Amino acid sequence: MRKSKWVDIHADDFGVSVHASEDIMECLEDGALDSISVIANMSCFGECVRRYREKRDSFKRVPHICVHLNVLDGKAVLDRTAIPDLVDDEGFFCLSWGTLFMINYGGKRKRERIKKQLKAEFEAQIKLVTEAFDLKELRLDSHQHPHMIPFVFDVLMEICEESKIPVRFVRLAREPLSPFIRQVCFYPTYSPVNLIKNILLNFFSMQNRRKLEKREIPYELLWGLLMSGNMDTRRVPELFAYMVKYAKRKDRVLEILFHPGRMLEEEKTGEYRKPGFLNFYLSENRNVEKVCITYLENSHTYGKII
C-alpha cells in the first residue's frame, strides 16, 4: 500500500545489474518505495529474482511490480530468428529511440512488421516477470520510454486487450511543466535535452491518453523526465509541494521516478553494448537519487503537504 494516495515513489531498472538491484532492495527495506520496474532481459535477471525472494520478508512495504519492457539495450529474450529487425547477428538489440521514432512516421509495411516483432518480444518479457514474481495484475512501462511512441503504444494496447490477467497500470510519460516554473533559481540546472524529452513525450501523451481512457486502463502523472538521472535532495523537496498540488488538481496519482540502483564497474560485460546507457547505469548520480529517496522517507515532506 502506498504511503500516500497521491504519490507513488518508484524505482526503475531493477534487474539491470545485481548491485543496482541490491540498492533498490535497500530502499525497499527502508520502506521508501511504493513500486519498482523490473528488466527481464539481462543475464542477471534470475539472480536478482532469487535475491528479491530471499529478502522479500524484510521489506517494510511490498512494492507493486511493473514490467520494464526493454528493446533498446542488452540481449533479446527471443531468438533472433523470431525478431530479425530488432537485433543484430548475436541477438543483441540494435534499435534506438530515434529509429523507432522514424519508423512511426515511415512506411506502413515496415511499421507493421516491426509491430509484430515488438509484440512477440514484449510478451516474452512480460511472461518472464509475471512468472518470476507470481503477478496477479499487470503493470507496464519501458526502458527509456519508447512505448510512448504511438505505434509502439498501440502494441501495448493489443497486449493489454489480450491479457489474461487484469491490467492495472500503463505508464503515461506525462510530466507537467508548470510546477518547474515556480522556482526560477533552478532554471539553469535543467538539461536542455531533458526539456526536449519532456515536451515530446507530453505531445505523445495526448494521443496515448485517449487510448488508455477508451480501454479504461489506469495511468498516473509522472515526475522524473526533466530531472532524469539527477533527482536530488536540493530540488526535489523544494518542488514536491507544487507537484503534489498539481496532481491533486488533476485528480491523478503522481509517480515520482527515481533510478537509485547503481551498477558497479566490475559488473560490466559484453551485453551492455551502448556506451551512453552504460554510463547512465554507472553514474554516481544514482547514489544521489538513492539518498533523495531516503531523505523523502525520513523527512517531514509528506506530512507537510499530504
**Residue 200 located in a structural domain:** yes
Distance, CA of 40 to CA of 22 (rounded, Å) = 16
241 backbone dihedrals φ, ψ, rounded to 5°? -60, -40
Average pLDDT across the chain, whole number: 95
Answer whether residue 299 shows pLDDT above 80: no
**Residue 2 located in a structural domain:** no
**Residue 292 located in a structural domain:** yes
Average pLDDT over residues 182-202: 94
Q: How confident is the model at residue 304 (pLDDT cuts 50, 70, 90)?
A: low
Nearest to 231 by CA among 305, 176, 291: 291
**Residue 293 located in a structural domain:** yes
**Residue 62 located in a structural domain:** yes
**CATH number of the domain within which 91 lies:** 3.20.20.370
**Residue 118 located in a structural domain:** yes
- The domain in which residue 250 lies consists of 7-305
Q: Report the percent of the chain where pLDDT is more than 90.
A: 94
Average pLDDT over residues 270-298: 95
Least confident of 3-12, 99-108, 110-119, 232-241: 3-12
**Residue 214 located in a structural domain:** yes
β-strand partners of 254: 7, 221
Nearest to 219 by CA among 232, 209, 227: 209
pLDDT of 2 reads 60
Average pLDDT over residues 234-259: 96
Q: How confident is the model at residue 189 (pLDDT cuts 50, 70, 90)?
A: very high
**Residue 1 located in a structural domain:** no
C-alpha cell of 29? Answer: 527495506
Angle at 115 between CA 271 and CA 202, to 5 degrees: 85
Q: How confident is the model at residue 302 (pLDDT cuts 50, 70, 90)?
A: low
Q: How confident is the model at residue 5 (pLDDT cuts 50, 70, 90)?
A: confident
Say how many domains are in the chain: 1
